[in-house]
Amino acid sequence: MIKVTINPGQKTLIVPINSLALDVLKKTDIVLVTPCGGKGICGKCKIRVFPKILDLDDNQKELLTEEEIEKGVCLACQTYLTQDSTLFIPDDVEKNKAYFAAKNKVNSNYLTDDFQPSTQIKKVFIKLMPPDLQDQRSDWSRVKSELENNIKDNNFKYDIPISILAKIPVLLRDNNFQITLVLYENKIIAIEPGDTRKNIYGVAFDIGTTTIAGYLLNLSTFKTIATEASANPQHVYGDDVISRIDFSKQNKAGLQELQQKLITELNRIIISLSKKAGIDYQQIYLASVVGNPSMQHFLWALPVENIAVSPYIPVITDSIYKEARDLPGFCLIPHAGVYTAPNVSAYIGGDTIADMIDISIWQKKDNILLVDLGTNGEIVLSVAGKIYTCSAAAGPAFEGARISHGMRADYGAIDSVRMRDEKIEYRVIGKTKAKGICGSGLIDLIAGLVNYKVIKPDGRLLTSEEYKNNKISKKYLAEKIIEEKNENKFLVVDKKETINGISIFLTQKDIREFQLAKAAIGAGIKILLELANINENDIDIVLLAGSFGNVLDAKNLVTLNVIPKVTLCKIKSIGNAAGRGAIKLLLSEKIRNLAQEIREKTKYIELSCYENFQEIFTEKLFFN
Ligand code: FES
């Protein structure tokens, strides 16, 4: 065994010799960014180790600068510890946590006027006379008859689990024969001492591949009483769904490990929400969960391997309603309900259904295009009551991955760029120096460079000389184009202005990566329009969903030919529609039934089968 100290924090762990540094960190609450899932490809999981690792392999040497190697920096996912060591975690990892905490302020104005909530969770308070020799009815008989009086239905068939039945005698006698019964439809799901009718809660979750948002609701007032967002802890297995599916395939208990990661985080969020709202989380009786099909499968530990390979078959697309006890280690009371929304296909999930619920798609007469940009762009087109959907495999560029200085929208990420005639202005998350660029910043930057003709419509970044010859060229932009190792790159932020003293560049390769992502989305939209037999001008409204949608500059998406060239007033960011949809699913059985109907009515289009897909994709690679 060896002793490993982790700084900051001076936390000490005793671990077997030859432990992987990343595995050691997984035992703590330190969450390194591991976009490639620990495969040693992305080079993002840098830590400093003391004593220095002397025999770094060629792969690590390739991904690290000489200066970093000199300082003892290495990749946590590729470094095995062979002696007592101290691991130094970069400052910004700690600050990411603070950033996620700050993001907790999620807008809580969720419900529209036309939404009628109604919960099936009911609480009944009963007050019994203590038994005596004249009344020797069983405890349950007396509870039941009082309940029937209360509900005014003598033929009501109750279902009471034995575990709850077993609690009745003590609970009655310890509480002066006054208890509250919690019912879900005809089932008694809990009994509580005294009168707890006012305390009745539910929780809704939107589990994204990157972020989990949780909402705590009072089920008697239907008001949201606390919200919280945090990083999906599964990202240690990779930033994208496919890396996580690979992990579950390659490791015997991988699926259960992924499930536990989720459940542990949901528990943490539930406890934190309850503390914020000052309630007892044991009085949360229903949870609704939406997410992409893989996330929903991970939650139930359902095998995911067939989602990743053609013909892409999930285990289930129906909604699931089970009890909390079916999720090992879940902190809600055993008989609390857990609902996951229906999926449409292997890549269109409950979160897209929740998007559609949020905008009441079944009531819409307009032609609506809804786009949720991400590693998998989900696209929905509603035309005259018909709903078409497809999933565009955009790759992780929109989330800042596979981009040289790309990163998630975390502390230190440039999330917005404005190109001016005389300078570039940018905004950094956390109001700090920049460390990298996230998806929204990347879109702004590339759009700016296309507008200023530094990037040609085919995606080629001009050389400095070529650009200077352009009549409208700007001197400051020309000076930022650098040629290195036969590749052109554009200097976004000089090393003097960054957190880590490393310059932030946009390379030609990054632009190509971005083109692939945007072509996938553009092709998906075009194909749906063709199938619905309408053209761009017939679109009445374009809705941009997802937290990404909030910070996107719609004009730039149009400039880059990501979304159709509609007038800007037709484009609207709707933020976390999936989160609001999850709340509506929590609050109404009618909406849960509607979700199933929408699923059945939605026509899923497999883009790879579309005859002209390749042609359309190639056409959409261009920025015009
Ligand atoms: Fe370590 Fe990608 S290189 S996570």
Task: Render pLDDT for 63-76 as a digit per residue (tens, 0 to 9).
Answer: 887 778 888 899 99
Q: Is the CB of 393 under 6 A from ligand 1?
A: no
Q: What is the mean pLDDT of the chain?
A: 90
DSSP string, 310-342: TT---S--S-EEEEGGGSTT--S-TT-EEEEPP
Q: How far is the CA of 40 from the centre of ligand 1 (A)?
A: 4
Confidence of residue 94 (pLDDT cuts 50, 70, 90): low
End-to-end CA distance of the chain: 60
Decide: 75 in ligand 1 pocket, CB within 6 A.
yes
Instruction: Give the pLDDT band of residue 617 (cuts 50, 70, 90).
Output: very high
pLDDT of 57 higher than 80: yes
Pocket test for ligand 1, best of 63, 74, 75 (most atoms within 8 A of CB): 75
Q: Measured between alpha carbons, how far is residue 20 from residues 24, 75, 79, 329 in Å?
A: 6, 10, 6, 27
pTM of the predicted structure, to 2 decimals? 0.84
Q: Is the C-beta atom of 74 inside 6 A of ligand 1?
A: no
Q: What whole-number distance in Å separates Cα of residue 57 and Cα of residue 174?
A: 67
pLDDT of residue 452 exceeding 60: yes
* CB-facing half-sphere around the CA of 267: CA atoms within 13 A: 14
Q: Is the CB of 38 under 6 A from ligand 1?
A: yes
Lowest mean pLDDT of 5-9, 158-162, 202-206, 216-220, name the range. 5-9
Lowest mean pLDDT, pick from 338-352, 399-413, 605-619: 399-413
Please report the pLDDT score of residue 95 as a whole number: 59
Closest CA to 506 of 433, 426, 430: 426
| Residue 104 pLDDT grade (very low, low, confident, very high; cuts 50, 70, 90) | very low
Structural tokens at position 326 = 């079916």
- Render 119-169 in DSSP notation, one character per residue: -SEEEEEEE-PPPBTTB---HHHHHHHHHHHHHT-TT---B--HHHHTTHH
Identify whether the C-beta of residue 108 lies closer than 8 Å to the C-beta of residue 165.
no
What pLDDT was estimated at residue 105?
45
Helix, strand, or coil (residue 85): strand
Please work out whether the CB of residue 32 comes within 6 Å of at least one atom of ligand 1: no
Residue 15 pLDDT > 90: yes
Quote the CA–CA distance of 24 and 410 in Å, as a whole number.
23
Question: Three-state secondary structure along 277-312?
Answer: HCCCHHHEEEEEEEECHHHHHHHHCCCCHHHHCCCC
Gap from CA of 528 to ligand 1 centroid (Å)? 36
Between the CA of 256 and the centroid of ligand 1 the distance, in Å, is 22
Amino acid in position 381 = L
Ligand 1 centroid from CA 32, angstroms: 9
CB-CB contact of 198 with 285 (8 Å): no
Beta carbon of 2 within 6 Å of any ligand 1 atom: no
d(CA 52, CA 50): 5
Q: Find out whether 518 and 560 touch, Cβ atoms under 8 Å.
A: yes
* Ligand 1 centre distance from Cα of residue 401 (Å): 12
| pLDDT for the residue numbered 93 | 66
Cα pseudo-dihedral 191, 193, 199, 202, rounded to 10: -30
